[in-house]
Structures are given as structure tokens and as C-alpha cells.
Structure 1
């Protein structure tokens, strides 16, 4: 009589492929720790955790994307330092951070976001109040913010938001940053644009919004981005701007917005009905905040970032090398 076939011990003990979200993240963190701190190869990590090498490879990539693994390059590149110095000297900035431009255009926001999160982390201390705008780069930057115990921190939205969920909705961004530090969170609970000027004026008379704007004006740090004026912009893509409104803004000389306020290439607010309907912290109020950090990059944002610099509201910025060069060169490279 033949003996019953025995199961392969390694395959029978292999980690199940379907895990709860909590267990999956724990396993991801273990894999990242073994690979980056324990200096194991992916094959060694796979054997140690009883996983396939392919799964370990995917886990490490996800760990980077989720911010579980954060990479810091503790060295400066001379060309980037020169660009940073020129940006500070030209636009009166206290700080500029320029990162190498990645070869893929769709990765520029990721590269800028990583540096922006690191810069924001430097300003997070006990009792700090942070005002946030909205945008994809700001959302991505939270993956690179260093989480640590902080007391009496607060987060304040600097503008109204959307009436539906979105990855770039300011309410989601504000609440996520606050949750990372167990901080208080305050919203400007109103749409980014009111239907009419009269509606905007009526909303701003409400005590709830008056309190929110008071807190927004008194933040220690404002963390903002700009929006270009083209069909691929966030405002256009999520339907906040209709094609007709976008056309009229362009005709009025707008190149993009800062906290919902549209400006021309010289950094001056344009005369347009939308600027009289926006519910957000004004450029004049931003100028009074001690530290205003702008994060953004890419060829479509050159003109609007330069406009924001000319407006004189910023004290720091984070961008990529190619964008910094274009800003300083005075190039106009805006998508249509």
C-alpha cells in the first residue's frame, strides 16, 4: 500500500491571500521594516513572512504610496540650491525647496508633494494652527508628513468646499491632517462659490462662518496650492467651473486661482463676478499670515505659480526643477 501524500509544509503555512485591512497594513509595515531597516532582499522578506516575492514587491510599492515608507535624501544638489536661492532673491521668499523633475509628467505632483510634506512637518509643533487649501498635490503631501505626538494643534480650512465627496475636497484634506495628529479641525462650511454675490454676503454674516474665518485669519501656517485655468484643471475636471465661466475668466485675463480667487499674470485680482462670489480667505488676509507655503509644479502651473509669487502673499514654496527654471525664465507654458 502506498503512503498518503504529505502536503508541502511551506505551502500549508503560507500567509492567506485575503486579509482584513488592519492585518494587511500590519503585514505591509512588517515587510517594509524588514526590507528597509532589516536590509533584507525581497526574496528573504517573502520567505520570512511566508509570502510570494511578487506579493512582497506589491506591498513595498503600496507602503511607499501610503506613506508608510518615507524616503529622505540628506544631501543637496548644487543646481537645485542655486534655483532655490534665485527664487528667494527674486520673489522675497524666506524659503524655497526645489526637487529634481521626474521623467514622467504625471509623477511631478508626487515628487513635489513628498518635499512639501517634509517641509510642512518642520513647522508642526505644540500649539500650531495650520490653515489648508485644497488640491491633489496637498492631498498627496500628507503621505510624507511625519506623524508624532503634538499637543493643542488645530487645522482650519481656508476656503469653502464641494457639496460631494472628492479626493481633493478641502473637508477631506483638513480632517485627514487633523486626524493624523489628533488635532481640532475647523471648517468653512460653505461652498467654494456662492450662487450670487447676495448669497455670499448673507452666508458671511452667519456667526458660524464668521468664527471660521476668524480662525483662518489667525493661523500660524497656510498650506496652499494654485489652480491653472485650462480644461484639465481640478476646478474644471470636477465640474466647479463650467466651460462658459472658464471662457469668461480667460477673457478677463485670468491665469488661475489662489484659494478660489482668480488673478492675472501680474498677480492682480481680476474684475470678474466669480471673485465676488468666492468663499475663501482673501489674498490680503493671506499676506498677514506669518508662513504661507505654496506647493505645486508642472508645465501647466508655471504661469499661475509665477502670478502667485508676484501677488506677494507667499513666504515659502515647493516645486520641481523644470518649473522653477521656467518661472525664473519668464516662460509662458500653459495648457489650452
Structure 2
């Protein structure tokens, strides 16, 4: 008697519900690859145009979608040349200004990422600053292996910062570029100059410090006295911020507070900063300053007057103001 093998019936299961990230990817694909309108996408996903617009914005903000525009705007090119000539820069990158602070930062980040992807070379040590602007740069950078590469923090970190820390910047860059990461395992501000000097004698800290000073390429931003992460989380003391203002500070670079001409101000905080010094920056072969927006204008100008950067990446409105000032 022939008996057929018992059949196995696999029960049908409901397809998993899209997560928010999957929905962002689906919407981005339909919009950028499928060329559907936002209204058509809204119909497909059973939603509305407002939500589709928000999902597209979120996919760009997270770095899921990276935009490269293979064209150069003539007014921006003219400003690049004017900036380079006026401030003695090796190069400048100027992007169209965004409609608000966040979009402006994202645009500058894209401009910086495009520039850096052409400048990074095998065997380099890349020194990295910190801040929301540098995070925007990393979000726009393509994932790519450059060969042996080192990424090193140019400054200490913060014990508390809910949005981003120096460790995140180095780690994210190392993951994107398959680089070895080196961190300052100390806070950016310590209790006294004596403590700072002692810390810099510790082997682990001294080795990172020396590696950072010898970077082939440094990428950093500068911060104003109102919204920078250093002011908000590193100082967190309105009275001390007022003291910095009275001492002539217009903002900071790597935690060092500068006056309008880019010189370090005479203030105890600057002597307690664990970071590559402003004088060290001048000795690095290529320093890329990524900075723009109205609130950062004074500190960006100060950095240029101090002749720290060899390359500036900024927005069109900031570039125009820098070129027009007497």
C-alpha cells in the first residue's frame, strides 16, 4: 500500500507592520527614485501630504537620504573666490543658505561632506571637533573605506550632553570611513590649570593630545555665546558667560574663547581647557572650519581674522557679509 507523505501546512501570517524607519525609507524611495509626488505617496501609504513631508525631512535629518548636487552656482563660486582672496584661504565652499537654522546647518554639512570626501587620503590622521554642525557633516558623508586612517578628537568631552558628545563624533566618523578612533578620555574643562597640566602628562591623554596636534587634516566648527553646546552644557553658568562677554569673547573654537580678532581672551576658563590649543591649530596643514548662520557670524569672522582655518565651508548669506564688511 502506497501512502503519500503527510503534507506540512505553514500557517499564513500577517506581514509585519512598517516601523517608522522602514516607512521613511519607503517614502524616500517613492519620492527620490520613483518620482512620485507627495500626494501620490500619501495615497499609497494611506496618509496625507503633511506626514509625507515630515517623513522626507526626517529621512534627510537622520542621514538615511544623502543628497549630492553635481552643479555649482555661479554666485557661490564667486563668493568662494572672494573669501579665499580676502582671508588668505586655500579654498572656500559656499552653499545656498537654508530657510531656517536647521536647514542651513544641513546645507553647510552637505557642502563640507562633499569637500571632505575628495580630500581624505589613505594614511592621514583626521582631527575632529565637536558640535551640531560637525554632526550634520557626518550625516551627509558617504560610507567609504579610504584605507588605513586615524580619527582623533581635538578636545575633551562633557560628562553630560543629551544631544551629542565628542566621543560620538569620533566613533561615527570611524564607522563611516573604517578608521581607527582615538579619544580624549577627559572632560573639556577641569577644575584648574594645574589639573589640566597634570592630566596632559598621563600617557593615554598625552598620546592622544600629540596625535591630535599632528593631524594632517582638522575638521571643526566654532560656537557663539548663546546656543553652542560648550556654553549650554560645558559651562552651564550664566554668570560665567557674562564674564566671558565682559572679557571680550565673541565665541569659542575647541572650547577656547576668542575675541573679535580671533585671539584667546585672558580668562581662567581658557587655562582649564583640555584641547588642542589655538596656536596648535595654526600648525596643522589643513584646517577646515565649517560654520555659518547669523548667530555665528561674529565668531566665524573672528576665526578667520585669527587665521586658524585654511578652508571655510559656509552659507551664501554669511559669505556675502564676510566679503562686504570693511
Quickly name the TM-score band, shorter chain normalised: 0.7 to 0.9
Aligned with 1:312 (options 307, 312, 316): 307
Residue 260 of structure 1 corresponds to 255
Query: 1:108-147 counterparts in 2 under 5 A?
Result: 108-147=104-143
Query: 1:284-295 counterparts in 2 under 5 A?
Result: 284-295=279-290
Counterparts of 2:213 and 2:238, CA distance in 1: 32
Counterparts of 1:211 and 1:198, CA distance in 2: 19
Contact 1:158-1:259 at 8 Å conserved across structures: yes
Aligned with 2:90 (options 89, 94, 106): 94
Spell out, residue by residue over 1:134-164, the C-alpha distance to the aligned partner (whole angstroms, 9 max, x if none): 1111112211101123321221000011012
Matched, 1:51 2:53: no
Contact 1:130-1:222 at 8 Å conserved across structures: yes
What are the ranges of 5 or more consecutive residues in structure 1 without an aligned counterpart? 1-11, 332-336
Deviation at 1:268, TM superposition (A): 1.2
Query: 1:1-336 counterparts in 2 under 5 A?
Result: 16-19=16-19, 25=21, 28-29=24-25, 31-41=27-37, 51-54=45-48, 58-230=54-226, 232-238=227-233, 240-330=235-325
Contact 2:151-2:179 at 8 Å conserved across structures: yes
Residue 334 of structure 1 corresponds to none
Deviation at 1:39, TM superposition (A): 3.3
What are the ranges of 5 or more consecutive residues in structure 2 without an aligned counterpart? 1-11
RMSD of aligned residue pairs (Cα, Å): 2.5
Residues 117 and 184 of structure 1, relative CA distance in 2, 3 Å threshold = same
What TM-score, normalized to structure 1? 0.85
Contact 1:303-1:327 at 8 Å conserved across structures: no
Counterparts of 2:209 and 2:14, CA distance in 1: 55
Deviation at 1:51, TM superposition (A): 3.5
Counterparts of 1:162 and 1:181, CA distance in 2: 24
Count of paired positions? 313
Spell out, residue by residue over 1:295-325, the C-alpha distance to the aligned partner (whole angstroms, 9 max, x if none): 1111111111111011111111111111112
What TM-score, normalized to structure 2? 0.87
Spell out, residue by residue over 1:181-204, the C-alpha distance to the aligned partner (whole angstroms, 9 max, x if none): 332110111111111111111111
Deviation at 1:178, TM superposition (A): 1.0
Partner SS, residue 110 of structure 2: helix
Contact 1:139-1:167 at 8 Å conserved across structures: no
Residue 6 of structure 2 corresponds to none
Contact 2:83-2:323 at 8 Å conserved across structures: yes
Partner SS, residue 127 of structure 2: strand
Deviation at 1:26, TM superposition (A): 5.4
